[in-house]
A and B are shown apart, each in its own frame.
Chain A
């Protein structure tokens, strides 16, 4: 699977520079920013005329809650599935 790399190079002296994302507190900023945006989106449901097709869509922030719940379920489900399906990388070789 591993091919010959075309263009890998050793870190040059200039590569040691710090990136914005390298700092832990900036990652924290992104996370809490995301929490804020989600909260705002959830609250937004009270401030516009929602055009819906199904009754369940009327619940405020239902799309967000549904998305959050199914994603957690999906990941935890996949984790369980891995116990059943996981084999060595060279299983078929």
Chain B
């Protein structure tokens, strides 16, 4: 392979023939690219490559180490599976965008400096929006626009932070930064936007459910996990992340329970899972950072699996709303099974992937004696079982039979879901290969009697709570609704404020203009009075007298000339 070429750049550089290939050739070609990228990653091995000097800055295009490998490897793997999932579609725009977007995400993970990071950071924003626009509806277009503004905004803030940082320190190295200056603070906020920190989060729930069936699956894998990687690289051990992460694990759970669009429920639960990873970064010990990396790896798989299954439901029935669905296990039994595997994994049932990854974060937090945060994480763990583990499969596949009868998901979707489900179980049953991939040595045995029994207690009693609430009719029914979230600020309040400003401002402007016009008219009237047809200063003299006066002047000039 070409020396020093980033595995991600392979996807970007070789994406150009995709729009020109047709049908199965295109998808075969798209499948080859992540394989090539994986081969490049394997053949390069740990090290720093592709150093170029531009404008006096030594850029590092490729840095492969234990932390970047975890994220790069899962990105390549999911890029491959996503191609299989999208094979039924014939959309060259979406196909091209999804490959370049994946390539940008992978490249960003492997960069060694902040300037190159900024370039790929923006490239992920610009390419990913096409996955939303590919839905080709007015609603998707508008959601995509909002998404793009937020994402590019994050890039601009990152750039500002990088410029300040370089001016202050002279370094562009992307290593542990810490929130120590306004510059690193700005970079922190830029990462935080992409990581969907509380109040900076709503672009995620706003945009992801508006993307295409395949687009949402692709989107869910890269952007936010890139941000998790960037935080783990730059801000490990930053205390405030523990509290930010804890809030992130809790507040989306309330929204997820009352949300009707099941793909939006999954977007809220994505946010909650990011919270666990952010807590791990904040704790910053080897155990916790291992937990963040492992959880990101497992999360990409099970979250994709869940989005894939809801995508298949949307594809077949035309809706992903809890109010419209129910009883689909009769029509789509395999999709139901895959969804349940994803649900069991995200809920961290023993023998499923979430169990072996989340344990590291929880243990890492408890090891530091942070019992309050630990209790919050337990609460969030019970919550995630409720609104994702049970709610999503329950309202789609069980509950009241909606009467919808449809075909099972297309074969390519089933294969993609099958591979992903297999990996979710494989990691849960045999975590050693994942643990070996992690940045530090793992000193935890997840399958102890204490751990398994306490976890099962937590989960099954939570499931019992769900059953009791459903039986007693206390569980809030699914309703067609929109729930206000922080996007309300920029979708209602700000436009309304601007509208009001225009209204009030417009009236003020009109008054000011009217007064000015009035003054001006009076001024004109005054001039008119003196200089108008009747004005004393404007009386016309006969032409003859003018000629006389000119003659007098000429005569005077002549006399003076001769004197």
Contact string, B297-316, partner A, CB cutoff 8 A, digits 1/0?
A: 00000000000000000111
Contacts of B453 in A (CB 8 A): 41, 44-45, 48
CB closest residue in chain B, given A28? B471
Interface residues of A (CB under 8 A from B): 1-12, 15, 19, 21-22, 31, 34-35, 37-38, 41-42, 44-45, 48-54, 56-57, 61, 63-68, 70-72, 74-79, 81-82, 84-93
Q: Chain B: interface secondary structure?
A: helix
> Shortest Cβ distance from A43 into chain B, in angstroms?
11
A21 with B462: CB separation less than 8 A: no
B382 with A50: CB separation less than 8 A: no
Q: Is B5 an interface residue (CB 8 A)?
A: no
Interface stretch of the complex, out of B114-122, B277-285, B366-374: B366-374
A70 with B474: CB separation less than 8 A: no
CB closest residue in chain A, given B142? A92
A87 with B481: CB separation less than 8 A: yes
Q: How far is A57 from B403 in the complex, measured between Cα atoms in Å?
A: 46
Chain A to chain B contacts (Cβ below 8 Å), 11 pairs: A7-B315, A34-B460, A53-B363, A53-B366, A67-B462, A68-B462, A74-B253, A74-B257, A79-B474, A81-B258, A92-B482
> Shortest Cβ distance from A29 into chain B, in angstroms?
12
Besides the known contacts A3-B314, A37-B460, 20 further A-B residue pairs in the complex with CB atoms under 8 A apart: A1-B321, A2-B318, A5-B319, A5-B406, A6-B315, A7-B407, A10-B405, A11-B405, A41-B460, A63-B458, A67-B460, A70-B379, A71-B382, A74-B254, A74-B379, A78-B258, A79-B476, A82-B481, A86-B258, A86-B482
Q: Which of B449, B465, B483 contacts A72 (CB 8 A)?
A: B465
Contacts of B456 in A (CB 8 A): 41
Q: How far is A19 from B405 in the complex, measured between Cα atoms in Å?
A: 14
Q: Which of A75, A79, A88, A92 contacts B492 (CB 8 A)?
A: A92
Given contacts A75-B257, A75-B386, A92-B492, contact A66 B139 (CB under 8 A): no
Contact string, B124-141, partner A, CB cutoff 8 A, digits 1/0?
A: 000000000000000100
Contacts of B329 in A (CB 8 A): 19, 21
Within B316-341, which residues are at the interface with A (CB < 8 Å)?
Answer: 316-319, 321, 329-330
Interface size class of B (residues with CB under 8 A): 35 or more
> Shortest Cβ distance from A78 into chain B, in angstroms?
4
Q: Is B450 an interface residue (CB 8 A)?
A: yes
Given contacts A2-B318, A87-B484, A89-B482, contact A8 B458 (CB under 8 A): no
A67 with B459: CB separation less than 8 A: yes
Across chains A and B, which 4 residue pairs bring their CB atoms closest together, nearest first? Answer: A5-B318, A64-B461, A64-B457, A71-B465
How many residue pairs at the A-B interface have CB separations less than 8 Å?
188
Contacts of B253 in A (CB 8 A): 74, 78
Q: How far is A6 from B261 in the complex, measured between Cα atoms in Å?
A: 19
Contact string, B208-245, partner A, CB cutoff 8 A, digits 1/0?
A: 00000100000000000000000000000000000000
B457 with A63: CB separation less than 8 A: yes
CB closest residue in chain A, given B379? A70
A48 with B449: CB separation less than 8 A: yes
A78 with B482: CB separation less than 8 A: no
> Shortest Cβ distance from B405 into chain A, in angstroms?
5
Interface residues of B (CB under 8 A from A): 139, 213, 253-255, 257-258, 261, 314-319, 321, 329-330, 363, 366-367, 371, 374, 378-379, 382-383, 385-386, 398, 401, 403-407, 448-450, 453-469, 471, 474-476, 479-485, 491-492
Contacts of B450 in A (CB 8 A): 48-52
Contacts of B314 in A (CB 8 A): 3
B458 with A66: CB separation less than 8 A: yes
B406 with A87: CB separation less than 8 A: no
Q: How far is A21 from B453 in the complex, measured between Cα atoms in Å?
A: 28
B317 with A8: CB separation less than 8 A: yes
A7 with B406: CB separation less than 8 A: yes
Contacts of A87 in B (CB 8 A): 481-484
Output the residue of B317, B318, B404, B454 with the most chain A CB within 10 A. Answer: B454
Contacts of B457 in A (CB 8 A): 38, 41-42, 45, 61, 63-64, 67
Q: How far is A5 from B409 in the complex, measured between Cα atoms in Å?
A: 12
Q: Which of B261, B405, B461, B481 contacts A8 (CB 8 A)?
A: B405
> Shortest Cβ distance from A55 into chain B, in angstroms?
9
Q: How far is A74 from B261 in the complex, measured between Cα atoms in Å?
A: 19
Q: How far is A15 from B404 in the complex, measured between Cα atoms in Å?
A: 11
A9 with B407: CB separation less than 8 A: yes
Contacts of A72 in B (CB 8 A): 465, 468-469
Output the residue of A37, A49, A53, A77 with the most chain B CB within 10 A. Answer: A53
Q: How far is A41 from B156 in the complex, measured between Cα atoms in Å?
A: 52
Contacts of A6 in B (CB 8 A): 315-316, 318
A66 with B463: CB separation less than 8 A: no
B465 with A79: CB separation less than 8 A: no
CB closest residue in chain B, given A60? B457
A54 with B371: CB separation less than 8 A: yes
B318 with A8: CB separation less than 8 A: yes
